Amino acid sequence: MWIANNWKDYEVLATSNGEKLERWGDYILVRPDPQVIWDTPHTHSGWKHKNGHYHRSNKGGGEWEFFSLPDEWSINYKDLTFHLKPFKFKHTGLFPEQAVNWDWFSSIIKESDRPLKILNLFAYTGGATLAAAKAGASVTHVDASKGMVQWAKENAVASGLGDAPIRWLVDDCVKFVEREIRRGNHYDGIIMDPPSYGRGPKGEIWKIEESIFPFIELTAQLLTKDSKFLLINSYTTGLQPAVLSYMINTAIVSKFGGSVDANEIGLPVSEDGLVLPCGASGRWTK
């Protein structure tokens, strides 16, 4: 498993009975996690002294209960700064486990003998975009949500990357890739973090089990024989590391060579030393 263990401002404190106790900077949150199917005693003091608790509803969705939590606050990862705020569907605007991937491709970018051009698809609030830009790449950031792209821009400014070579685009990722192919554009590295289900700005429907492999094949057309890497993240249970590996081998290695590595990613749990699984990632490098 690839473990995001370089955080100072974020920590999974404990896990129990479908929930995780987390420290986000100075604040403690309790959020549901489907991987936590074990039940252990709530011995950590944070369970009683939390600042926010997202309660899952039996009918789907849920709602927040707050205890002295600001509307917005910030945390840092190395030299990056992220604004956080709790919003619907339990999220805060950041997936901390992805830091293990940020470190991986940042090393590739820094060690390259030339400036790299990176494409970040389904780019959300910009964690991967900022990591790549801080490492020295020029980045094209694409997400279908105008609000998420604006949030990512604010994170860039907070991280000292307001003038970095980042192109911010609100667009449907499939349609954008199709246009880039027609334009003849190529990238040295591609990052994608596709949702299990989503809609584009014009109502385009995305279902990952049906859409992901054709999309990988399509996106592969933006790579060249000199491209450096491709990263696919998945939170969908059915897309295990072996599945990601098979798809990348079929769509990319067969055409460009290189090698594939895929694994679960996770976060260390402070209380008991366990590692909380947080999905899987597939990496292609050449």
pLDDT tens, 111-146?
Answer: 999 999 999 999 999 999 999 999 999 999 999 999
Task: Average the pLDDT over 257-271 and give the result.
Answer: 97
CATH of domain 97-285: 3.40.50.150
Task: Average the pLDDT over 52-57 and give the result.
Answer: 94
Q: State percent of the chain over pLDDT 90.
A: 88
Q: What letter does residue 269 receive in the DSSP assignment?
A: B
What band does 61 get if pLDDT is binned at 50, 70 and 90? confident
Q: How far is CA 69 from the centre of its chain?
A: 24
Task: Average the pLDDT over 45-59 and give the result.
Answer: 93
Q: Using the predicted structure, report yes or no on whether residue 285 has a pLDDT greater than 80.
A: yes
Q: What is the pLDDT of residues 234-253, one digit of tens each?
A: 987 668 999 999 999 999 99
Can you give the pLDDT at residue 207?
77
What band does 58 get if pLDDT is binned at 50, 70 and 90? confident
Residue with tokens 């079929």: 250
Which residue ranges does the chain devote to CATH 3.40.50.150? 97-285
Can you give the pLDDT at residue 209?
76
Q: How far is CA 44 from the centre of its chain?
A: 28
**Chain-wide mean pLDDT for the chain?**
94
Residue with tokens 């263990």: 5
Tell me yes or no: is domain 2-84 CATH 2.60.40.1180.
yes
Q: How many angstroms separate the CA atoms of 125 and 206, rounded?
A: 19
Q: What is the pLDDT of residues 182-236, one digit of tens each?
A: 999 999 999 999 887 777 666 777 777 778 999 999 999 999 999 999 999 998 7
Report the DSSP pairing between strands 19-24 and 10-16.
antiparallel
Cα separations in angstroms, 198 against 30, 144, 194, 204 = 26, 9, 9, 8
Which residue ranges does the chain devote to CATH 2.60.40.1180? 2-84
Q: Using the predicted structure, report yes or no on whether residue 163 has a pLDDT greater than 80.
A: yes
Task: Average the pLDDT over 260-266 and give the result.
Answer: 97
